[in-house]
Every structure is written in structure tokens, then in C-alpha cells.
Amino acid sequence: MSTYILILDDDADVATAAQLLLRRRYGQVGTLNDPAGLSALLARGVPDVVLLDLNFTPGRINGAEGLALLDLLRAQARPPAVIAMTAYADVPLAVEALKRGAGDFITKPWDNARLVAAVDQALARRGAERGVGADSSALMGESQAMRELKALIASVAPTEANVMVLGENGVGKELVARAIHASSRRAAGTLLAVDMGALPESTFESELFGHRKGSFTDAKADRAGRFQAARGGSLFLDEIGNMPLAAQAKLLTALERREVTPIGADKPEAIDVRIISATNLEEASLFDPSVFRADLLFRLNTIVLRVPPLRERREDVPVLLRHYLQMYEAQYQRPARGIAPSALDALLLHDWPGNVRALRHACERAVILGQGAEYVVADFGLAAAPVATHIAVARTVTGDATLDAIERAAIASTLAQFNGNISHAAKTLGISRAALYRKLGKHGI
């Protein structure tokens, strides 16, 4: 699937910088400097993600222009995911943008890894919303495991208890978080998702707690942190198991005191959020003090929800296949097809190491490449080699291959195996997320 990202910013240099960063990773990245041209552009096709500046007229910093454009974008029949961008991210403006439908906000100048992570999350949210909605019905399947999970969500959601969601990559942990929020007393507020594994330790406090103008070299304006922006709603802390221990201590302090102090501020600010966290780590790993603080764990895991992998609920595979095949047939305007019995047998027996996310990608591939009257096994591309095989092949590409070529091939193969999941790929390759991001930029992947 070709992804289309639009950067709407009156500063051509800023738009170009974002374009150069993002086009290494995504399909098509366009820029628009004059918002007057947005309606005509939308008539030709709605982007998947829009990075939207909130101020266009020199001297204006109230964000009114950007909020009006946000309303226009959200009014589309199939609205894009929107990431608000501004150099003047005070708390009321950030909250208003989120209330009007922005999924996230970025303060300029941005951290590259933070921007890429925000776009990744926006694409994942748009795919989930476009396909299945945002409540517990999004968790498709009527297996015993899924019925039990939905019952737990229904019991837990109306409370204020912090919830930790455990499960492998691709099982739908964020969908669980959205289902909890949608059925909670905070449903009218914002659910703000934060990829904790993508937050650089150097900017952790600024991202979560905010900062004041002049508090450090690049602090050119007051900035709202995620805790302030999600006030009255829920804060989804994804990949929490990847946080460094020092950052865990800072988060624990905020949760214990129910307040945060923005960098450079004189007084703390009270926080009013419900915490939903998630990790793909094995539960036993969370009790290892070298990995996760026990006192923080007990703050987060008041309720633990375990999302079953797809291989443990194979009876749900047919309904998932039917849903995603129909969704992509409509999206790509392809004819409806059945699944050949031999293909269905293979799909039911497949272990789906990438879980529902991998099944969804396989369905998209089948719709795009399938040519017969029925879908056959080859259309779904299930014959993926193990990671170790990919890396071994990459290391023996040719006798005269350069080290850079070998490294690039190994990274590309590992990312493909894990459907682009940065955390899992970095762990398998034995490098940090930050190092992997640098190598992606170096090799233009």
C-alpha cells in the first residue's frame, strides 16, 4: 500500500526538512505552503496523514487558522490522521487541537525520531479507525479468549483504575486501550497515545511534562507536555517496557504525586489523566529489577489485561480474513473473491507471528496481487523465512559486497520480518532504537 503524507506549513524550509526526513520511510510525501490550495488538493485525493502547522499569518500565534483547517480535514468522508505542528504549543491550544480530532502534536523544532514515531502511530490509528472503529467491536472475534477479554474491558472501563495491557506485537493492544477509553467516564476527553520507546531520554521530561520558554537552548516557547494535553482524558503509554530506568523513576514520581513540574517552571501542576500502559515484554521480565522498577509496575498494573496471540484463537481467523479482504477490496476497487479451500486451510494452520497486523497485511497483499477467481495461498505471501535466515542471506549477498551493503540488507530483512516494528527489529539486531533510526537514515530505508 502506498502511503501519502502531506506537510502543510507556510515555512518552505520547515516543510522541506520534514519531507526529506519522511520520504526515506514512506511512499509519497508532499508539501503545501499556502493553505488556500488545500481544498483543491483534497478534491484530488485525501492524504493518509497531514502534518498541520497551526499558524500561517506572520505574527499570529493563537492557532485559529490551523484549527479551521483541522475542521476541514476532519470533515472529509475518510479523514486523514492529523498531527498538529507549532512553535507555540501552549496547553490550551494543544488541548483544543486534540479535542477537534488531531491525534498528536509536535513542537517545532522537532526531534526526528519523535516525528517518525508520531507518523507511525498516526498511520496505525487511521488504519484501525478506517477498518474497525474505536470501541470494543474493533476487537473482532468470538473465540472464548476474545469473549473473556471483552468482558474484562467492560468491567474495567468504567473505573478509574490504571490498566496494563500485555501482548505480542500486532495483537491490538492500542485497540484495547481505545476500547477502555471509549467505555469510560472520560470518553468525552482525549485519548493521547505516546510511544515511550521512541522518546529520547534527553527530551523525556519536556515531552511528558512540558517546559517553559528559555528553560534550555531550544525552548523558544512554552510547551505543553503529554500529561497536560490529555487532561480530563486518558494517556496511553505504549511500549512502556522499553523505558530506561532513569526515565521510569521520573514517571513514578509524577504518578505518585499526581503532579508534574514543567522544565523551568517554579510550581508543579496537578494532573488529571487515567493511565493505560502496554508492553510486548514477557510478563516475567517486568519483575526483573534490571528491566523495570517494581514500584512503578505496581502503580501501572492495578488491572492487567492479556491480549491473546492469533495462534491461540485460530477460530477467529475466518472472520478477520473476511473483514480485511472486504475492506481492501473496497479500498482498491477490486472484485470480491472467495478463498480457495486449500488456502483457507493454510491460513488457519499458519502461526501468524505478526498476529492480526500480519494477517491484515497479508490480506492487503492478496487483494493487490490476486488474479484468479479465488484467493490462493501464494496471494497471501506466507512463506517468509525466519529472521536468522534473512540475516544470514544478507551477510552472504555477494563475495565483493561492501559492509554497508551487508548492513543495509540485514536491516531491511529484519524490518520486513517484523512488519516495520522498530523496537522488535532493534532488539533482534542487538542495537538500540536510536542507533537503528540513525542507520535507517544512513541507508535511506
Residue 399, pLDDT score? 42
Residue intervals of the chain classified under CATH 1.10.10 are 387-443
Q: Tell me the three state secondary structure of residue 367.
A: helix
Residue intervals of the chain classified under CATH 1.10.8.60 are 311-380
For residue 219, what is the enclosing H or E element?
A: none
Task: Tell me the three cell numbers of residue 215.
Answer: 528553560
Would you tell me the crossing angle of helices 91-99 and 64-74 to the nearest 10 degrees? Answer: 20
Inter-CA distances, 94 with 63, 178, 277, 351, Å: 9, 20, 22, 42
Cβ pair 434, 113 in contact under 8 A: yes
Q: Any idea which fold 311-380 has?
A: Helicase, Ruva Protein; domain 3 (1.10.8)
Give Cβ neighbours of residue 140 (< 8 Å, ≥ 6 apart): 132, 146, 316, 319, 320, 323
CA distance 99 to 95: 6
Respond yes or no on whether the N-terminal peptide bond of residue 109 is cis (omega within 30° of 0). Answer: yes
Cβ pair 132, 140 in contact under 8 A: yes
Cβ pair 161, 303 in contact under 8 A: yes
Give Cβ neighbours of residue 10 (< 8 Å, ≥ 6 apart): 33, 34, 35, 53, 56
**Please, what is the average pLDDT of the chain?**
84
Pairing mode of beta strands 269-270, 259-260: antiparallel
Residue 422, pLDDT score? 81
Give Cβ neighbours of residue 148 (< 8 Å, ≥ 6 apart): none
pTM, to two decimals: 0.63
Task: Tell me the three cell numbers of residue 338.
Answer: 472467495
Residue 267, pLDDT score? 92
- Taking only the tens place, the pLDDT of each residue in 21-77 is 888 777 689 999 999 999 989 888 889 999 999 888 887 778 888 899 999 998 887
CA distance 89 to 96: 11
Q: Any idea which fold 133-308 has?
A: Rossmann fold (3.40.50)
Would you tell me the crossing angle of helices 403-417 and 433-443 to the nearest 10 degrees? Answer: 120
Residue 124, pLDDT score? 66
Q: Tell me the three state secondary structure of residue 152.
A: helix
Mean pLDDT by 10 residues, the chain (445 residues): 83 89 82 91 89 86 88 86 77 77 82 79 65 51 90 94 95 92 88 85 86 81 85 93 92 95 92 96 92 95 95 92 90 91 91 92 93 94 50 40 64 76 76 75 75
Nearest 10 degrees: CA dihedral of 337, 341, 345, 347? -10
Helix extents (H) in 288-386: 294-300, 317-331, 341-349, 355-369, 377-380
CA distance 84 to 63: 10
Amino acid, single-letter form, for residue 290: S
- The CATH class, in words, for 1-117 is alpha beta
CATH number for the domain running over 387-443: 1.10.10
- Taking only the tens place, the pLDDT of each residue in 316-340 is 999 999 999 998 898 888 999 999 9
